[in-house]
């Protein structure tokens, strides 16, 4: 009787340091060898690319409380199909939002029952719960998320600079990072009021209410506060190369800050938002083709650290208002994350680093996650490249068949996904961060 559970042979294996032709021997959910080994099950993956499973640090599943928007069952299935084997779920859009130990344990309980990928949870920083950050840390949050601008849900208010600074100080003491949605509320409000006053309701009106400068101003302020508080900062969904420049500037000044971007900024532009309409509404908004080229350039220069889907679904009714300002801002796209990155021209090695190793390292999950080294969890994808698949509504696994990617051609297909060595969806495990201190 062979000693181990599974051996994957013949695949082109993508490790962050490069591509190798090795086998993956797996036992009890862990990688145990890089040599071909006799096993109970042998998968011949000749012609396929094997990638480490993505650690998608930015999803909104909205459950408990708003499961009519999505939910853990459908959300985690879609994420898994898109290449994520671990997700880190955001503290807002569920009800209650994750602002204290009680709401944390409610969400953890739902996720343990329904998630088919491993998961960790963000806690929130808002003006309502600054005193609750220690109990959230104790409960096992991966870090804290704050909004500098209106979040879109009244139960998760944005943080003014004083609140953000206080939250960052507390997070730094607790040894946890802070993820920030960086857009400046005041200039956006002024512009929006002016536009609304003239009767503006269109996609282009919305785009002009949130120019790049409003994002840069907020990134600068967040970096400054992180420097003062010695907080580890992660700027989520950076939409433009100028944003990455600000983050690089802060890093050179000694601030511990990393940058996330999302697939939608790499494959869609502001003109696509005009063409597609409400499914493509997000904040910060989609940018110009020039900005997109610049952002891709930043990825090639190694200045972007992580890619997360920012999967943020809503019911169709919230995507239907003829006034674009009233439409829910959030793109549902986790189901195509890895294929989209191939389509955007990223190399397999870049994809492995940005979607797997780097987020796992940044959020205290490495080397259990984000690695295919011996001893790591056997979380991986078998991907077929060189295909031309089209995104179709009937294939969507999300609660609502809404996505801005309909009709897009994908150059890679996630054929199989293993979480801890298992190709069949099984119950996801809760992950607490390994604290660096
Ligand atoms: Zn988000």
How far apart are the CA of 314 and the centre of ligand 1, in A? Answer: 12
- Please give the Cα distance from 218 to 385 (Å, whole number): 38
How far apart are the CA of 283 and the centre of ligand 1, in A? Answer: 9
How far apart are the CA of 20 and the centre of ligand 1, in A? Answer: 34
- Going across the sheet that includes 409-418, the strands are 18-20, 12-15, 49-52, 380-390, 409-418
How far apart are the CA of 59 and the centre of ligand 1, in A? Answer: 6
How far apart are the CA of 5 and the centre of ligand 1, in A? Answer: 38
> What CATH number should be reported for the domain whose range is 52-369+386-408?
3.20.20.140
How far apart are the CA of 107 and the centre of ligand 1, in A? Answer: 17
What are the pLDDT digits (tens) for 31-88?
999 999 999 999 999 999 999 999 999 999 999 999 999 999 999 999 999 999 999 9
This prediction's pTM: 0.97
- Please give the Cα distance from 55 to 44 (Å, whole number): 25
How far apart are the CA of 143 and the centre of ligand 1, in A? Answer: 14
Least Cα distance to 331 among 390, 388, 267 occurs for: 267
- Please give the Cα distance from 111 to 130 (Å, whole number): 25
How far apart are the CA of 288 and the centre of ligand 1, in A? Answer: 21
Q: What pLDDT score does 437 carry?
A: 40
- Please give the Cα distance from 295 to 303 (Å, whole number): 9
Share of the chain above pLDDT 90, in %: 97
How far apart are the CA of 147 and the centre of ligand 1, in A? Answer: 10
How far apart are the CA of 310 and the centre of ligand 1, in A? Answer: 5
Task: Kindly tell me if the per-residue pLDDT of 17 is higher than 80.
Answer: no
Answer yes or no: are the C-beta atoms of 372 and 380 closer than 8 Å: yes
Q: What is the largest CA-CA distance in the chain?
A: 76
pLDDT level of residue 28 (50, 70, 90 thresholds): very high
Treating both helix axes as pointing N-terminal to C-terminal, what angle do 185-197 and 212-229 enclose, rounded to 10 degrees? Answer: 160
How far apart are the CA of 181 and the centre of ligand 1, in A? Answer: 8
How far apart are the CA of 351 and the centre of ligand 1, in A? Answer: 20
How far apart are the CA of 79 and the centre of ligand 1, in A? Answer: 14
Q: Say which residues have a Cβ less than 8 Å from residue 355's Cβ, sequence separation at least 6.
A: 54, 55, 56, 83, 84, 306, 307, 337, 338, 341
Instruction: Tell me the chain's radius of gyration from C-alpha atoms.
Output: 21
What does pLDDT average to over the chain? Answer: 97
How far apart are the CA of 286 and the centre of ligand 1, in A? Answer: 14
pLDDT level of residue 436 (50, 70, 90 thresholds): low
pLDDT level of residue 214 (50, 70, 90 thresholds): very high
Q: Say which residues have a Cβ less than 8 Å from residue 197's Cβ, sequence separation at least 6.
A: none
How far apart are the CA of 215 and the centre of ligand 1, in A? Answer: 15
Q: What pLDDT score does 434 carry?
A: 85
3-state secondary structure of 415: strand
Cβ-based neighbour number of residue 393 at 10 Å: 10
Domain residue limits, the chain: 52-369+386-408
- What's the rounded mean pLDDT across residues 165-174? 98
Share of the chain above pLDDT 70, in %: 99
How far apart are the CA of 10 and the centre of ligand 1, in A? Answer: 38
Cis peptide before 402 (omega within 30 of 0): no
Task: Kindly tell me if the per-residue pLDDT of 314 is higher than 90.
Answer: yes
How far apart are the CA of 56 and the centre of ligand 1, in A? Answer: 11
What are the pLDDT digits (tens) for 403-415?
999 999 999 999 9
Q: Say which residues have a Cβ less than 8 Å from residue 162's Cβ, sequence separation at least 6.
A: none
How far apart are the CA of 134 and the centre of ligand 1, in A? Answer: 23
- Please give the Cα distance from 97 to 107 (Å, whole number): 9
Task: Kindly tell me if the per-residue pLDDT of 222 is higher than 60.
Answer: yes
Q: Say which residues have a Cβ less than 8 Å from residue 350's Cβ, sequence separation at least 6.
A: 299, 300, 341
What are the pLDDT digits (tens) for 245-297?
999 999 999 999 999 999 999 999 999 999 999 999 999 999 999 999 999 99
């Amino acid at each position: 009787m062979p000693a181990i559970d599974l051996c994957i042979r013949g695949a082109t294996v993508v490790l962050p340091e490069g591509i190798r032709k090795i086998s993956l021997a797996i036992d009890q959910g862990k990688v145990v060898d890089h040599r071909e080994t006799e096993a109970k099950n042998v998968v011949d993956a000749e012609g396929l690319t094997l990638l480490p499973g993505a650690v998608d640090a930015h999803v909104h599943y909205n459950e408990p409380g708003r499961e009519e928007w999505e939910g853990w069952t459908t959300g985690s299935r879609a994420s898994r199909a898109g290449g994520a084997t671990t997700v880190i779920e955001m503290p807002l859009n569920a009800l209650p939002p994750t602002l204290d130990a009680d709401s944390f344990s409610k969400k953890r309980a739902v996720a343990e029952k329904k998630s088919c990928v491993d998961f960790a949870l963000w806690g929130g920083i808002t003006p309502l719960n600054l005193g609750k950050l220690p109990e959230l840390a104790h409960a096992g949050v991966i870090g804290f998320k704050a909004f500098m601008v209106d979040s879109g849900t009244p139960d998760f208010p944005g943080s003014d600079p004083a609140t953000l600074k206080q939250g960052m100080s507390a997070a730094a003491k607790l040894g946890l990072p802070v993820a920030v949605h960086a857009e400046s509320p005041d200039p956006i409000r002024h512009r929006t009021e002016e536009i609304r006053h003239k009767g503006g309701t269109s996609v282009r009106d919305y785009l002009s209410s949130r120019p790049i400068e409003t994002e840069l101003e907020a990134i600068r302020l967040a970096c400054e506060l992180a420097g003062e508080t010695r907080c580890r900062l992660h700027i989520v969904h950076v939409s433009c190369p100028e944003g990455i420049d600000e983050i690089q500037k802060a890093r050179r000044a000694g601030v511990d800050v990393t940058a996330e971007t999302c697939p939608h900024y790499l494959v869609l532009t502001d003109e696509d938002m005009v063409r597609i309409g409400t499914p493509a509404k997000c904040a910060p908004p989609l940018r110009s083709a020039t900005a997109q080229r610049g952002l891709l350039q930043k990825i090639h220069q190694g200045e972007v650290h992580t890619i997360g889907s920012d999967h943020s679904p809503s019911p169709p009714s919230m995507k239907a208002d003829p006034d674009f300002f009233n439409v829910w801002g959030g793109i549902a796209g986790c189901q195509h994350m890895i294929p989209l990155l191939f389509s955007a021209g990223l190399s397999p090695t870049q994809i492995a680093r940005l979607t797997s190793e780097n987020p796992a390292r940044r959020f205290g999950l490495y080397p259990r996650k984000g690695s295919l080294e011996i001893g790591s969890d056997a979380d991986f994808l078998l991907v077929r490249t060189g295909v031309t698949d089209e995104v179709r509504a009937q294939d969507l696994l999300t609660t609502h068949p809404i996505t801005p990617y309909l009709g897009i051609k994908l150059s890679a297909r996630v054929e199989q996904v293993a979480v801890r060595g298992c190709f069949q969806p099984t119950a996801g495990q809760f992950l607490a961060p390994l604290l660096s201190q």
